[in-house]
Structure 1
């Protein structure tokens, strides 16, 4: 009887738990840089959109960290799991940095909305953390067969997240404020990099799946 029940169990692919947060967060970042949205919403709500997106990123990053080996790395862990844990930990730190920068931008928008301009753009430290995390994820993906959860890393997800991190890095450079003039290096490139990065993160989140077993449906 037990064997028959096991054979009747269905194996299905479902969106990973952390993917929901990454997908919503990415969508909010993408919407936030759209000129039509920022013009309609105004500086306060535009920056509130970025801040909300960063909160979803942080929640998703925490879930991913807790699921990546489920403990801090030690000598008992293989290299793949250890690298995967560090990739998730550094990514989580990056999301906290984005919490700080988006929160500061929101406060500035509330206090002096006329001086905020187009709103928040990726900061350097958060972007560096994402780049380092993405590089470690590439290393973990090379040995994904040794991961405790093979679905945690896939080449399409790792590649898209790397592209997204690079795009956020380009945006951070373009958002550098020139001391002499107070202008950005390139506002258009900063917005474009943020949009491309958010789109890459969004698609990667939707492609991240996990295999679960479901009991057979009763007639």
Structure 2
């Protein structure tokens, strides 16, 4: 699962590198982002299934269900919101592949789902951060999940900045700030990549085990 996030984050970071975009052109750059988003979605779905399986009192029927409603459970809530965010990114990146979109279509099919996906990532990582912080008592080390969540919150903020900067101005058809949009995507992808790599590392001894560990972002 962590490797799916690692690959997805790496593709997002690669697509945001100007030299790569100039070398392969807009179509291949768009495809790079789309494939990266598919890796994100597959990883997010696996995490959602893990969250469903970990629900207290959940029997075999619940674990087999394709959809379960448990918003009071932090692990489920973070996983479900994260999955929704990846689906928004799928829609956004798929619609961004054509290079001849007019301003109205770019706003409706690319920018808006991009913003929604960024907000979902921020909410998901914030839920995990809040929940992980509760498990760390005074004088005890922070759990790995808390560290990952802090990094992922930073990545979600960077993605949000990128989404705002990528707004297409109706008057000119240009991005509000193309440089900031690319930088935000690159920084956010690196944050998510770091968080995914940390998912592969063992929890330090003496650290409280957290039920939500592994949720990414």
2-side partners of 1:167 and 1:30: how far apart? 12
- CA contact under 8 A between 2:71 and 2:77: conserved in structure 1? no
- C-alpha RMSD over aligned residues: 2.9
Secondary structure of 1:36's aligned partner: helix
In the alignment, does 2:30 pair up with 1:39?
Answer: no
Q: Which residue of 1 aligns with 2:163?
A: 172
Match of 1:70 in 2: 53
Deviations 1:66-122 (A, max 9, x none): 1124166889xxx9981121011100100000000111112x13xx49x9xxxx788
Q: Match for residue 54 of structure 1? A: 37
> Which 5+ residue runs of structure 2 have no aligned equivalent?
59-69, 104-109, 137-142, 203-217
2:118–2:159 Cα contact (<8 Å) kept? yes
**Cα distance in 2 between the residues matched to 1:203 and 1:19:** 11
Query: Relative contact order, CA 8 A, sep 6+: which one is greater?
Result: 1
Q: What is the aligned counterpart of 1:132 among 123, 130, 135? A: 123
Match of 2:7 in 1: 24
Contact 1:164 1:199 survives alignment (8 Å): yes
Is the CA contact (8 Å cut-off) linking 2:128 and 2:146 kept in structure 1? no
Partner of 2:186: 195
Query: Does the Cα contact within 8 Å between 2:151 and 2:194 map onto a contact in 1?
Result: yes
**Larger Rg: 1 or 2?**
1
User: Whole-Å Cα distance in 2 between the matches of residues 189 and 56 of structure 1?
Assistant: 24
TM-score, normalised by the number of residues in structure 1: 0.73
Q: What per-residue deviation string (whole Å, max 9, x for no partner) do you get for residues 100-157 of structure 1?
A: 0111112x13xx49x9xxxx78811111111111111112212347xxxxxx961210
Higher strand share: 1
1:161 aligned to which of 137, 152, 166: 152
Q: Which runs of 4+ in 1 moved over 4 A?
A: 71-75
CA distance in 2, matches of 1:193, 1:19: 22
Unaligned runs of 5+ in 1: 1-17, 146-151, 212-219
C-alpha distance 37-210 of structure 1, shift in aligned 2 (>3 A): closer
In the superposition, the TM-score normalised over structure 2's length comes to 0.74
